[in-house]
Chain A
Amino acid sequence: MNTQLLLIQVFNGLVNGAFYALLSLGLAVIFGMLRIVNFMHGALYMLGAFAAFALGQAFGLGFWPSLILAPIIVALLGMVLERTLLSRLYGLDPSYNLLLTFGLTLLTQDLVKQFMLSHYAVSSAPYTPPAALAGVVNLGFVVFPKYRLFVIGLSLVICLLTWFVIEKTRVGAIIRASTENPGVTRAFGIDVGKWVTGVFGVGVGLAGLAGVLAAPIYSVEPYMGAELIITTFAVVVIGGLGSILGSVVTGFAVGVLAAVGAALYPPIANTLVFILMALVLLVRPSGLFGLPEGAK
Chain B
Amino acid sequence: MQKKTLTALVSTAALAAMTVALAQNLRLSDNVVRVGVLTDLSGVYSELSGQGSVKAAQMAAADFMAMNSSFRGKVQVVGVDHQNKADVASNKAAEMIDRQNVDVLMDLPTSSAALAASEVARQKKIPVMVVTGGTTALTNEKCNKYTFHYAYDNYMLANGTGTAVTKRGGNSWYIIYPNYAFGQDLNRQMTAAVQENGGKLVAPSDATPFPNTDFSSYLLKAQGLKPKVFGTMQAGADLVNVVKQYNEFGLRQQGIGLGIGLLFETDVAALGQDAFSGALATVPWYWNLDQRARDWAARFEKAFGKKPTWAQAGVYSATMTYLQAVARAKTDSGDAVVKALEGHRFSDFFARNAYVRPQDHRVLLDVYTVQVKPKAQAKENGDYFNRVATIPAARAFQPLSESKCKM
Given A136-B249, A218-B213, A263-B217, A122 and B47 contact (CB-CB distance below 8 Å): yes
- Interchain nearest-CB distance for B341 vs A (Å): 34
- Interchain nearest-CB distance for B2 vs A (Å): 56
For A5-32 the 0/1 string (1 means CB < 8 A from B) is: 1001100100110000000000000000
CB of B220 closer than 8 Å to a CB of A: yes
- Interchain nearest-CB distance for A143 vs B (Å): 6
Query: Which residue on A lies nearest to B275, using beta carbons?
Result: A126
Which of B105-113, B131-139, B202-210, B286-294 is near enough to bind chain A?
B202-210
Bound-complex Cα distance A218 to B245 (A):
8
Instruction: From the candidates B212, B250, B271, B306, name the one contacting A145 in the complex (CB within 8 A).
Output: B250
CB of A262 closer than 8 Å to a CB of B: yes
Report yes or no: A121 in contact with B306, Cβ–Cβ below 8 A: yes
CB of A76 closer than 8 Å to a CB of B: no
- Interchain nearest-CB distance for B60 vs A (Å): 23
Report yes or no: B209 in contact with A269, Cβ–Cβ below 8 A: yes
For A253-282 the 0/1 string (1 means CB < 8 A from B) is: 000000100110011011000000000000
CB of A117 closer than 8 Å to a CB of B: yes
From B46, B214, B224, name the one whose CB has the most chain A CB atoms within 10 angstroms: B214
Bound-complex Cα distance A266 to B240 (A):
20
Instruction: From the candidates A125, A145, A224, A266, name the one contacting B248 in the complex (CB within 8 A).
Output: A145
Q: Which residues of B196-248 are within 8 A (CB) of A?
A: 206-209, 211-214, 216-217, 220-221, 223-224, 237, 240-241, 244-245, 248
Instruction: From the candidates A5, A122, A227, name the one contacting B213 in the complex (CB within 8 A).
Output: A227
Q: Give the size of the chain B interface in residues (CB under 8 angstroms).
A: 35
CB of B272 closer than 8 Å to a CB of A: yes
Bound-complex Cα distance A147 to B179 (A):
29
Residues of A close to B253: CB separation below 8 A: 136
Residues of B close to A143: CB separation below 8 A: 223, 249-250, 254
Residues of A close to B241: CB separation below 8 A: 218-219
Q: Which residues of A211-237 are within 8 A (CB) of B?
A: 216-219, 221, 224, 227-228
Query: Which residue on B lies nearest to A224, using beta carbons?
Result: B213
A-side interface size class: 35 or more
Bound-complex Cα distance A249 to B6 (A):
91
- Interchain nearest-CB distance for B206 vs A (Å): 5
Number of A-B contacts (CB under 8 A): 87
Given A136-B249, A217-B248, A269-B209, A117 and B47 contact (CB-CB distance below 8 Å): yes
Instruction: From the candidates A5, A148, A267, name the one contacting B224 in the complex (CB within 8 A).
Output: A5
Bound-complex Cα distance A129 to B47 (A):
26
Given A117-B47, A143-B250, A266-B206, A124 and B237 contact (CB-CB distance below 8 Å): yes
Q: Which residues of B29-58 are within 8 A (CB) of A?
A: 44, 46-47
Report yes or no: A266 in contact with B271, Cβ–Cβ below 8 A: no
Q: Which residues of A87-130 are within 8 A (CB) of B?
A: 117, 121-126, 129
Bound-complex Cα distance A148 to B269 (A):
24
Instruction: From the candidates B47, B209, B248, B254, name the one contacting A123 in the complex (CB within 8 A).
Output: B47
Query: Which residue on A lies nearest to B307, using beta carbons?
Result: A121
CB of A142 closer than 8 Å to a CB of B: yes
Bound-complex Cα distance A8 to B244 (A):
20
Residues of B close to A153: CB separation below 8 A: none
CB of B270 closer than 8 Å to a CB of A: yes
Bound-complex Cα distance A258 to B240 (A):
22
Residues of B close to A292: CB separation below 8 A: none
Report yes or no: A123 in contact with B269, Cβ–Cβ below 8 A: no
Report yes or no: B207 in contact with A267, Cβ–Cβ below 8 A: yes
Report yes or no: B207 in contact with A217, Cβ–Cβ below 8 A: no
Which B residues lie at the A interface, using CB under 8 A? 44, 46-47, 179, 206-209, 211-214, 216-217, 220-221, 223-224, 237, 240-241, 244-245, 248-250, 253-254, 266, 269-272, 275, 306
Further pairs besides A124-B240, A142-B220, A218-B244: 7, Cβ < 8 Å: A5-B220, A126-B270, A143-B254, A145-B250, A217-B245, A228-B213, A266-B217
List, sorted by A's number, 24 A–B pairs whose CB atoms are closer than 8 Å: A5-B224, A8-B220, A9-B217, A9-B220, A12-B216, A117-B47, A122-B270, A123-B46, A126-B270, A126-B271, A135-B250, A142-B220, A142-B223, A148-B216, A217-B244, A217-B245, A218-B244, A219-B237, A219-B271, A262-B217, A266-B208, A266-B209, A267-B179, A270-B212
In the complex, the 6 A-B pairs of residues with the closest C-beta atoms, listed nearest first: A136-B250, A270-B209, A262-B217, A124-B270, A145-B248, A126-B272
